[in-house]
């Protein structure tokens, strides 16, 4: 009866495995699955599910989502809300409103073509735009929090459409309220970014600087930065279509100075980056590689030879396989360096 009630309202699929919905190609079934291409469709789906006592999960491209073998016993809504428009121009910058279902890299490409800076280093990151604020995506010296003005969202708690400012989002390193205190409450429908009409200037992130030096590039355009990032990422990260993965599976770890100094005493070549007065960021890929795990096959998950942050699903058949590999990596790094690394993708 419940299934009939939902199916009678919208085009809803049933029992779709998350192996078809995530780039890691693992996870049990989604009890119900629907797509929302407008804000009203999303709200109607959410309200109907709530009326029928069903849990709701919003997903985009599935590139930052790990699903357990039991799947999701509720309604999964794929956010496909489109949109890209300039809503303000002050001469030096433009404020852009972007539908949450827009492909993120296409948005970056379009902004570069428009001569707008601020997100060019976030090129080639998979997923949809509405997912960008959730984990505060970042790469090569930029993160979405640098340009975000506000997000528009459906608040399932109050059953209203709301605007959440930059301050409301509670951004920190690869984190926001959307994966913290308010996880599951808001369904982002659009993001608003302020981008600037200026060319990039050095110094650039180290990997980009190296790329420019090797190719003797001195004309620092937005397109040049975007091309550099795409080339670097292509060389470091496996294509999820050919090699199922979730991109960077582990966050770069942020530690206190005394912890970093303890590692430096044994490993003086350890790379690190200042975060604030008391904390340093250490590349987790370096920790995993130095722990002699790079390239290893653990429980069907291969630690990528090009980037030890990446786990490739080579032969894993269950979430249990992935969890066992993850836990073994975390344990090995902790035993060697006395620090605990963390998973980056969301998990349900």
Express each pLDDT in 175-234 by its tens digit. 999 999 999 999 999 999 999 999 999 999 989 999 999 999 999 999 999 999 999 999
Which is more confident, 100 or 275? 100
Average pLDDT over residues 295-311: 95
Helix (H) or strand (E) holding 212: helix 206-214
Q: How far is CA 279 from CA 140, 253, 272, in A?
A: 19, 10, 10
Contact yes or no for 341/251 (Cβ under 8 A) = yes
User: What's residue 71's pLDDT?
Assistant: 96
What is the pLDDT averaged over residues 26-50?
96
The model's pTM:
0.88
Hey, what domains does the chain have and what are their CATH numbers? 2-79 (3.30.43.10), 84-196 (3.30.465.10), 206-236 (no CATH), 245-347 (3.90.78.10)
pLDDT higher than threshold 70 for residue 1: no
Q: Return the number of other C-beta atoms located less than 10 Å from residue 335's C-beta.
A: 9
Q: Quick check: is 296 catalytic?
A: no
Q: Kindly name the residue from 63, 102, 248, 326 that is annotated as catalytic.
A: 248
Q: Is 248 a catalytic residue?
A: yes
DSSP bridge pairs for 34: 77
Which of these is catalytic: 174, 226, 302, 326? 174
pLDDT at 8 over 80: no
Q: Give me the pLDDT at residue 274, please.
A: 85
Q: Indicate the pLDDT class of residue 5, thresholds 50, 70 and 90.
A: very low
SS3 content of the chain, % helix, strand, coil (to 5): 30, 30, 40
> Region 116-136: what's the mean pLDDT?
96
Strands 55-59 and 29-36: unpaired
Residue entry with tokens 């080639």: 124
**pLDDT confidence band for 6 (50 / 70 / 90):** very low
Residue 344 is a catalytic residue: yes
Give me the mean pLDDT over the 13-23 stretch. 95
List C-alpha distances in Å: 190 to 60, 124, 258, 344, 346.
Answer: 13, 20, 41, 23, 20
Integer Cα distance of 65 and 319 in angstroms: 12
């Amino acid at each position: 009866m419940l299934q009939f009630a939902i199916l009678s309202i919208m085009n809803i699929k049933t029992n779709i495995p998350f192996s078809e919905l995530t780039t890691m190609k693992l996870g049990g079934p989604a009890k119900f699955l629907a797509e929302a291409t407008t804000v009203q469709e999303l709200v109607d789906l959410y309200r109907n599910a709530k009326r029928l006592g069903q849990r709701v999960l919003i997903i985009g491209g599935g590139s930052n989502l790990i699903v357990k073998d039991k799947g999701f016993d509720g309604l999964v809504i794929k956010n496909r809300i489109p949109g890209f428009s300039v809503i303000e121009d002050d001469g030096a910058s433009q404020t852009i409103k972007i539908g949450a279902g827009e492909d993120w890299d296409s948005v970056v490409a379009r902004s570069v073509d428009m001569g707008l800076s601020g997100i060019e280093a976030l090129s080639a990151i998979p997923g949809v735009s509405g997912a960008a604020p959730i984990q505060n995506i970042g790469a090569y010296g930029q993160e979405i929090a640098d340009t975000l003005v506000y997000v528009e969202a459906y608040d399932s708690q109050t059953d209203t459409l709301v605007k959440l400012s930059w301050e409301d989002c509670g951004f920190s390193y690869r984190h926001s309220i959307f994966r913290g205190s308010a996880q599951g409450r808001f369904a982002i429908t659009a993001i608003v970014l302020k981008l600037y009409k200026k060319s990039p200037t050095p110094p650039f992130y180290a990997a980009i600087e190296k790329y420019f030096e090797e190719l003797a590039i001195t004309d620092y355009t937005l397109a040049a930065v975007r091309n550099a990032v795409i080339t670097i990422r292509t060389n470091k990260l496996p294509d999820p279509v050919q090699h199922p993965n979730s991109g960077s599976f582990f966050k770069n770890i942020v530690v206190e100075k005394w912890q970093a100094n303890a590692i430096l005493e044994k490993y003086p070549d350890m790379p690190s980056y200042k975060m604030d007065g008391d904390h340093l960021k250490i590349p987790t890929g370096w920790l995993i590689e130095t722990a002699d795990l790079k390239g290893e096959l653990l429980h069907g998950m291969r630690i990528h030879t090009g980037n030890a942050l990446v786990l490739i699903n080579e032969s894993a058949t269950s979430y249990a396989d992935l969890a066992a590999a993850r836990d073994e990596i975390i344990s090995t790094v902790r035993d060697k360096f006395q620090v605990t690394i963390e998973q980056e993708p969301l998990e349900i």
